Amino acid sequence: MKSHARVVVIGGGVVGCSVIYHLTRLGMQDVLLIERSELTSGSTWHAAGGFHTLNADTNMAALQGYTIRLYRELEEITGQSCSLHHVGGITLAESPERLDFLKSARAMHRHMGLDTELITPDEIRNLSPITNTDGVLGALYDPLDGHLDPSGTTHAYAKAAQMQGAEILLRNPVLETNPRPDGSWEVVTEQGTIIAEQLVNAAGLWAREVGAMAGIYLPLHPMEHQYFATADIGE
């Protein structure tokens, strides 16, 4: 293992691999990602993989729209499938206040070049016959909403980053992170020690533990998710 890197990213999930992809895309060289096990073996492995553009924050909505478009580009660059499915999404409004919010969201999306539509209860039922529209005043329909394979997407980010010069080191747990007087970091791993000019904590479920190594205590708590899946089993 080399002894120095400009940027070291800890964590080989979708966030860590996205970070090294974007850093190298911006022209940064000498970028290294360190993963304790295999890519996507942590938080990303059991993610639902859903995506949408609706967000009250304009910057976050724009970022989500950019990311959704990027998935197709990653597939083209790398040949790695993200298993991208744009099935469309419907956000319901059961009060005038909620409907006003969706109207403002649609205006914001139009400004950002995102193609969303306000739809009526009848249109909701046409798009999603299983949806109960009792009391529903309207909805926002986004054709970009959908789902993908988190593992495939992570590998697409990783491959694109490596094509741009990033390095990925697997099966190498980080044991310590120690700040140095010059502002750099000493990163101690099972395979050796590396000096990082900049250190990125992208450890997901273990980000709290990684932060604690540097005396930083993150208010991170695992959450339980529930999923509803359907399947057409035929006649």
Q: If you write DSSP's letter for every residue of 69-122 in order, what string do you get? A: HHHHHHHHHH------B---EEEEE-SHHHHHHHHHHHHHHHHHT---EEE-HH
Positive/negative CA dihedral, 39, 7, 161, 48: positive
| pLDDT above 70: residue 227 | no
pLDDT at 233: 66
Residue 127 and residue 136: Cα distance in Å, rounded?
15
Q: Which CATH architecture has domain 1-49+149-235?
A: 3-Layer(bba) Sandwich (3.50)
Q: What is the mean pLDDT of residues 214-230?
A: 77
Residue 119 and residue 66: Cα distance in Å, rounded?
24
* Nearest C-alpha neighbor of 185 from the set 173, 171, 200: 200
Q: What is the mean pLDDT of residues 158-177?
A: 98
Do 1-49+149-235 and 51-146 fold alike per CATH?
A: no
Over the stretch 66-97, which tens digit does the pLDDT of each residue have? 998 899 999 999 999 999 999 999 999 999 99
Q: What is the mean pLDDT of residues 13-34?
A: 97
| pLDDT above 90: residue 200 | yes
CATH topology of domain 51-146: D-Amino Acid Oxidase; Chain A, domain 2 (3.30.9)
Residue 104 and residue 82: Cα distance in Å, rounded?
31
Give the global pTM.
0.86
Q: Tell me the domain boundaries of the chain.
A: 1-49+149-235, 51-146
What kind and span of H or E run contains 233? none
Residue 60 and residue 53: Cα distance in Å, rounded?
8
The residues, any chain, with a CB within 8 Å of residue 13's CB and separated by 6 or more, are 39, 40, 42, 43, 44, 45, 154, 202, 204
